[in-house]
Amino acid sequence: MEVRFEQYFREKRYLANVTPATIEWYRNSLRWLRTDTPTQDDLKDAVMRMREKKLKPTGVNSAIQALNTYTHWAYVGSDSKCGSGCTHPKLAHLKVPDTVMPTYTERQVRLLVTWKPKEKYRRRLHLLVLFLLDTGCRISEALGLHVSEIDIDNLLVTLDGKGRKQRVVPFSFELRKAIVRYLRDYERKPEHLLFANRSLTLLSRRNMLRNVRDLCRYLGFEPPARTLHAFRHTFAVNYLRRGGSVFHLQKVLGHSTLDMTRRYANLVTADLSAIHERVSLLSK
């Protein structure tokens, strides 16, 4: 990496106080640049090489966001937000197909919820599934959760989201019962991770993905695409189906803008058809 890149990472780390994960995101994105003072053509070249390597449009857009942030810093000399008056090299995001996000069906959710495991690690897996379905949190937020961050009395949990942003999310009585039983049976202390491995350290996301996929097949159905994140999509769609506000959903999901939440709020065709029947001027 060029010296200027390293200076950028240092400022992001020590002046902007971004997380190590965000620094790694910047590193991976800026590796596509062949110079630390990129021109407009250099940026276009980076994107074309990403596409040649078969990166998905969403992945390319993530990298473009990092590239634009870097060029603003490199040419403007500050870490302020890029505005309409900025003339430095920058790229527009690629158009992404507006596809319906994968979710679990009502039948699949019922199978997952009513599963009755007996063995310890299967019970841990079941509690994780219930937690994701009931709170809509990210898998990283669930796996990093400590027992002390769960307010059993008030049915609230404090989640550590992206960019060190914490938020408090409610959960149901049913989830509380499952958590209390699990804490009682396996003697989890406040400083312990709720979902921990045998050595009480952080579980692997990859292992949990494998376990959830195996569970879906064991229960008789194929797991949806983006298997773990599909729990979040399912939570969002059902939140709106049952009368929840998109503004409240934004807070629960931890999104900084409402536009981000709307991506999770795509209703399935059956919902749109049902709504149309109610509002159609031709309906009796």
Of the candidates 4, 27, 176, 255, the residue annotated as catalytic is: 255
Residue 56, both tokens? 């998905």
Is 162 annotated as catalytic?
yes
Identify the active-site residue in 162, 167, 213, 262: 162
Q: Is residue 164 annotated as a catalytic residue, yes or no?
A: no
In the annotation, is 4 catalytic? no
Q: Which amino acid is at 265?
A: A
Please tell me which residue in 26, 104, 239, 264 is annotated as part of the active site.
Answer: 264
Residue from 12, 126, 232, 233 carrying the catalytic annotation: 232
- Write down the catalytic residue from 12, 124, 138, 188: 138
Active-site entry in 122, 123, 213, 229: 229
In the residue annotation, 138 being an active-site residue is answered as yes
Active site residues: 138, 162, 229, 232, 255, 264
